Structure 1
Amino acid sequence: MRKSILAAMVVVIFISTLSSLAMATDKEVLISYMEKRLGYSLEYITDMFVDEGLVGTSQTKVKGAKMYMASVSQGISSYVINDGEYIYLWTSMTNIGKKSKVEDYKDSGELSKNDITGDEVTVRILGRENANGFECMKVEIIAEGRSQYHWISEEYGVSVRIIMDNVRMDVTRIERKDIPDSTFVPPSYIDFSGSMSFGLGQAVAQAAKDIEDAMAEARPVTKEEFLGLIAKRGSIPAIYTERYDNVLKTKVTVSVKAGFEYRMLDAAVKLYLLYDGKDFYTWNSMIKTVSKVKSTDAAVKLLSPYDPTIMYAKDFTFYEYLGRDSIMGEMCRGALVLYGVRTYEIWVSERLGILMRMIVDDVDMTVIGVTEKDVPDSTFQLPSGYKVK
């Protein structure tokens, strides 16, 4: 009889526990997982990736509610200490740091209870998964219209994987260690006295901006942004040379200014092409006749083997971002696009909007020299003494 009563009590307790879990909100469940970390003294390593490229590594040490983090990114070391009362932030660039109350600081480098308890934040538990060798609870956290995904270790309460947009952070190792309390004492050689306000010191702000800029540079650009880069061509007047990878290694000199374009092929008989913002014109050094032509005419192809109207494209039927690279000293964005009936691989200067590299069919063009100069307006005028037909 006594055994039956005990068994019944165990069943009642078990059912009550399941019921309480079932009634808990996703936020409450997430907080209960995160609070597991408070019972440990841990050290772990995190790698940060942007577009699958490694951009930084951090070492984190935690003991109860206290935390120390040292990160290296873009050649700059940055440090964060949370001693339970204050957040301390500094970098390797300066001996000036920032100090703020824990409750006032918005980003300590770790997911906190304050980050998820607000009414404007939505939490969804997506299930259990293994990440980086750890059994985890996977959650989606939606704040300010953006989603981030966390894989939280069921044992330690640490986010061992975080994905937000094109950024991924992976914990590669967790060790239980007796972290000395001195770890959470900020260094005496850093001046935190003037940084109780939220403004960072100039050098710290610059370091943060450098990292932010690096992440922005690594972000894929949309089709609209890519078209915007092309539209910049001519905003900085320039003269450059296109070299074609053919038998003759043909070179075409191009001048651009605003929406105008002038091309010259220097050969025994010089060939010229002018775009006045509306129409294309061609002529040569032998016959004093200017022809108004279409972009698809054979005379145009000699000076522009690709469709020259791609320089003024407003849309692409297909767009696939390829990445960011340096071509002849110009940082460029690349894309595979379908324009008209042809597929182009094009690389556009972020600064000038010039197509620095183009591959289409059997045409392979690279810009080999760019000179920024105020091209005279007369360059974009039809030659005097020539008949126009």
Structure 2
Amino acid sequence: MKRTIIAAVLMSIGVMAHAQSSVTMYGRLDAGLQYRTGVPGGNVLQAESGDWGESEFGIKGAEDLGGGTKAIFKLEMGLNVMNGNFGNGSLFGREARVGLTNDTYGTFKIGNAGAAEISQDSWDLDPQLMQQYAIATLVRGRNWAQAGNSVEYTSPVFAGLTFKGQYDLANSSTWNAGSPGSAPGQLGTTSGFGSAQGRSDGFKLQYNGPSIELQAIYDEIRDQYGKFSNVYLYSRSILAGGTYALGSVKFYVGYQHLAAPDASEAGYDNAATPVGASLPTAVDHEWGGASWQVTSATALTAAIYHANANNGNGNATLYTLGGTYNLSRRTFLYTELGYVRNSSTSNIGLGNGYGDPYGTSGATNGNGGGAVGSSINEGPGYGRSQFAANVGIMTQF
């Protein structure tokens, strides 16, 4: 059935090309190897897809409607190069939207925002550009949130300023709560977070100058009951930061605060807490780093991230070093090193954020204390450190 759907989409491209002003097929493939220490049973070498960025395939297009207005659409799927499966929980889980755009009035989109959920715009403030060990690591994947049922507006640029607003309906008779079957997928899952998507929304303000970028994002994601019940999954997020370019070096700094005032045992899937701690309701996360374009082909990045969870859940610091080497305009090699150091009541690891969620190592549940699809938590254990390194190749078309 999946092959039939994909074939139908590809066969329709020729038809769409006549009706649209432009239709473009695009994508990228990322494959590599990762070595990690401190996982249950020892160390592990893994074949990986998407350590630098998720592999994807997409189709996008625009039709000129006249008067400066265009109809636009985008269909995008995530891919796992190692096994050929699509990711993000559904065929076009990364994005499936249609809309209108006008240089004077802005852009309106409606559909499945998927990986374009507004929190993911924070990649622009991340020295490691949301690689495997980066801005999402210490908040256990919170900045990789996804959302369906989305309505979005982006303003034109006024004196360097841009506004974006996004509203994701729960599609339920209960205002904040979701209906069964409305859940979008997340990276590493097949059924999304929770049994349904609760209402989520957010907005972004961004300023771009000749050598500076400033950005602020407010984002909130509710669980299937309309609650902020897990600070790493269903929470409010306030994020702000900026970048400054000085010659071939670009500096980054940022801060994020997460809040889950409705934190509950159910929200964390009854995960066991560290001794002397209770469920976290807030996390403070800050980072800084720099990227250096050494030559036209070679770039290096370095960054430090720190996060502190309240209610006795400790803190963790992540040190990262990465590099890329361009083989051509479309293909590059990459590598990244990551080292996370935990306090005695923190057990954050260098998995994908969902492989080591909150809770005691070895717990088995869907989103609060064990790896999705696994019976073992991939984190290093409380008070322990973890080192990881990856190397891979990315090609784009």
TM-score interval for Structure 1 and Structure 2 normalised by the shorter chain: under 0.3
Question: When the two structures are superposed, what TM-score results if normalisation uses the length of structure 1?
Answer: 0.21
More relative contact order in 1 or in 2 (CA 8 Å, sep 6+)? Answer: 2
Question: When the two structures are superposed, what TM-score results if normalisation uses the length of structure 2?
Answer: 0.21
Larger Rg: 1
